[in-house]
Amino acid sequence: MKPYRKDQLKKIRIALILDSKKRTNYIIKHNIFGQVGENFFFQPRIIPSDPKLIKFHNNVTVTSNVTFVNHDVFHEGLNRLGKGTFSYYSREIEVFDNVFIGCNSTILPGVKIGPNAVIAAGSVVTKDVKENTVVAGNPARVIETFDEYLEKRKRDN
């Protein structure tokens, strides 16, 4: 079987695993992403088209329906303009230690998410996220520091 076909079958298999912990274990066992650190949790059932371009460090939690977009195919449209030749665009996404990515967020190509960061649910991350920050919105912007967020959560317990 061709390697491309095997990768597609793995993606289908991942989508069919209903239990998030089992899905995460499968992803780790089969080296789906470019890198996965310790204490990784991946809830989405859809794997991006270029998963080897995504690196996760330690203590990363990715919640449901998060989309990682590490490429675009706009070169197809640009090439039809007759104003030059444009190639396929893809960039690595890197998520550092102690990061939480909320549900329905989208991470765009080339983004680096620094350590101790929180991406609020529904955010669209278009540029790098600095260390010790909480970002939210479309496009995502800093709303507070990680320490401020931590204090709020302590009070809410």
Active site residues: 71
Nearest-angstrom CA–CA distance, 60 and 66: 13
Residue type present at position 78: L
Q: How far is CA 34 from CA 8, 80, 138, in A?
A: 16, 33, 27
Q: What would the two tokens of residue 134 be?
A: 């909480």
How would you class 18 by CB atoms within 10 Å of its CB: exposed for 0-12, middle for 13-18, buried for 19 or more?
Answer: exposed
